[in-house]
């Protein structure tokens, strides 16, 4: 397949990026809430690192893992940890009314660290901020889910279990269930706004934000046929052997920080502590409503120590079997995607796009709906 590597600069997408869109108009979507049992067989690693059982520990963890004289995550591996379990994953499937034009194309949206599936389906002014509504309004079906350890999904051991290899297999499991038409029949239906929809998609598009995009990239390197196209937002690969620099993060032990919201979270789960930290990481001055910052605080989710540890040791190999299109979508002040491109050497098209007036978190930026138009038009232009 040819690999067309381009930076979007043509007038059509530029116009979309600077104007509001009609795609996010009020949408009547048919949604069902699911508890999906996903079998996982994976090989994780055990790491030498501090325990996190208080907010004091959480701060110490960020200082320790950032300032160790040995920076490579591989140097902190003490052994392997096999996982062979079935995990309960909370998901939402939404389909357009009366079989929309693209209802046989399923988007599977994976949130990043600090969020659950509500990242994609913002409840505040959904006509402007909900990506789910925007996709459904164009006729797509869309599956969003709470990653392991977040939202209403299962919350297992944060050190040895909640790691990238486990989460990659969960994404693959959800995708395979959907492709086979067995997603609904294999799940427990928790609630539905309409009669439970049927689904057996002919095509699948993987959509991810930040850590979620990383999971998709690892998954496509392992299972190249897992998607017919990919949209990777807020995602750059700059150094695969070091952990994220978390020294400037304001982490707190989740259960101590908010016993009401996070009382079920045990050792090894921490959460971004303040609105200021959330603003620093996800938002850009002049590009968000204050109410969206408060909303981000309200829906924020804990993160697992194992997720950070495994970022530096998970295999990220070229997606040799993946031949679909890839959109690299970032906020306007970020641009360095060469390492990301190298993973998708066989993709039919790798397009880089910088969204004006947008921070790291697309869905809570005031320019969100225009960004959705760019994403959905890109997919449409490639038959997706």
**Tens of pLDDT along the chain (384 residues)?**
333 334 343 334 444 544 444 444 566 788 999 999 999 999 999 998 889 999 999 998 888 777 765 556 677 899 999 999 999 999 999 999 876 678 889 999 999 999 999 999 999 999 999 999 999 999 999 999 999 999 999 999 999 999 999 999 999 999 999 999 999 999 999 988 777 777 899 999 999 999 999 999 999 999 999 999 999 999 865 544 444 455 567 899 999 999 999 999 999 999 999 999 999 889 988 899 999 999 999 999 999 999 988 987 776 788 889 999 999 998 876 555 556 677 888 999 999 898 888 889 999 999 999 999 999 999 999 999
Strand order in the sheet with 203-209: 4-7, 349-355, 325-331, 229-233, 203-209, 105-110, 141-145, 77-95, 30-47, 188-192
Domain 4-381, CATH number (from 3.40.50.1820, 3.30.1340.30, 3.30.750.200, 3.30.420.40): 3.40.50.1820
Kind plus residue range of the DSSP H or E element containing 36: strand 30-47
Burial of 118 (0-12, 13-18, 19+ CB in 10 A): buried
Distance CA 107, CA 94 (A): 10
HSE at residue 13, side-chain half, CA atoms within 13 A, is 22
pTM over 0.85: yes
Position 240 scores a pLDDT of 43
Nearest-10 crossing angle of helices 368-381, 11-18: 150
Helix, strand, coil tally for the chain in percent (to 5):
35, 25, 45
Question: Burial, 323: exposed, middle or buried (Cβ in 10 Å; 0-12, 13-18, 19+)?
Answer: middle
- Token representation of residue 190: 């928790």
Instruction: Please give the Cα distance from 119 to 365 (Å, whole number).
Output: 12
CA-to-CA separations, 86 to 166, 177, 302, in angstroms, rounded: 11, 14, 21
Query: Crossing angle, helix 275-282 and helix 290-299, to 10 degrees?
Result: 110
Say how many residues make up the chain. Answer: 384
User: For residue 66, what pLDDT is reported?
Assistant: 73
User: What is the phi-psi region of residue 103: left when phi exceeds 0, alpha when psi lies from -120 to 50, beta otherwise?
Assistant: alpha
Phi, psi of 359 (to 5 degrees): -90, -155
Taking the C-alpha atoms of residue 84 and residue 286, their distance in angstroms, rounded to an integer, is: 47
Give the separation between CA 43 and CA 64, rounded to whole angstroms. Answer: 26
Cα torsion through 276, 280, 286, 290, rounded to 10: -30
Contact 108, 384 (CB under 8 A): no
Can you give the pLDDT at residue 7?
39
């Amino acid at each position: 397949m040819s690999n067309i590597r381009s930076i979007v600069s043509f007038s059509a997408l530029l116009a979309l990026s600077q104007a509001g869109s009609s795609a996010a108009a009020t949408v009547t979507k048919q949604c069902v809430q699911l508890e999906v049992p996903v079998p996982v067989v994976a090989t994780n690693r055990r790491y030498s690192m501090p325990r996190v059982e208080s907010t004091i520990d959480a701060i110490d963890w960020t200082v320790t893992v950032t300032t160790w004289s040995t920076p490579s995550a591989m140097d902190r591996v003490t052994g392997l940890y096999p996982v062979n379990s079935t995990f309960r994953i909370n998901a939402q499937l939404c389909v357009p009314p009366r079989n929309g034009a693209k209802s046989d194309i399923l988007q599977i949206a994976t949130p990043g660290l600090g969020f659950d599936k509500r990242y994609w389906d913002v409840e505040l002014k959904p006509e402007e901020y909900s990506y789910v509504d925007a996709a459904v309004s164009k006729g797509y079906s869309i599956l969003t889910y709470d990653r392991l350890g977040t939202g209403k999904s299962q919350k297992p051991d944060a050190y040895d279990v909640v790691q990238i290899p486990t989460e990659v297999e969960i994404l693959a499991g959800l995708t395979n269930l959907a492709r086979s038409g067995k997603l609904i029949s294999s799940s427990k239906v928790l609630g539905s706004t309409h009669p439970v929809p049927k689904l057996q998609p002919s095509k699948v598009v993987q959509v991810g934000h930040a850590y979620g995009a990383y999971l998709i990239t690892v998954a496509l390197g392992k299972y190249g046929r897992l998607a017919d196209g990919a949209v990777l937002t807020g995602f750059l690969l700059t150094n695969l052997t070091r952990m994220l620099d978390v020294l400037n993060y304001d982490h707190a032990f989740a259960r101590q920080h908010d016993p009401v919201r996070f009382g079920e979270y045990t050792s090894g789960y921490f959460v971004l502590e303040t609105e200021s930290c959330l603003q620093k990481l996800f938002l850009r001055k002049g590009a968000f409503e204050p109410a969206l910052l408060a909303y981000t605080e309200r829906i924020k989710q804990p993160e697992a120590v194992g997720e950070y540890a495994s970022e530096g040791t998970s295999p990220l190999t070229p997606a040799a079997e993946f031949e679909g299109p890839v959109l690299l979508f970032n906020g306007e002040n970020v641009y360095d995607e060469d390492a990301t491109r190298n993973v998708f050497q066989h993709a039919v098209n790798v397009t880089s796009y910088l969204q004006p007036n947008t921070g790291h978190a697309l869905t809570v930026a005031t320019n969100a709906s225009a960004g959705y138009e760019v994403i959905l038009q890109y997919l449409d232009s490639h038959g997706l």
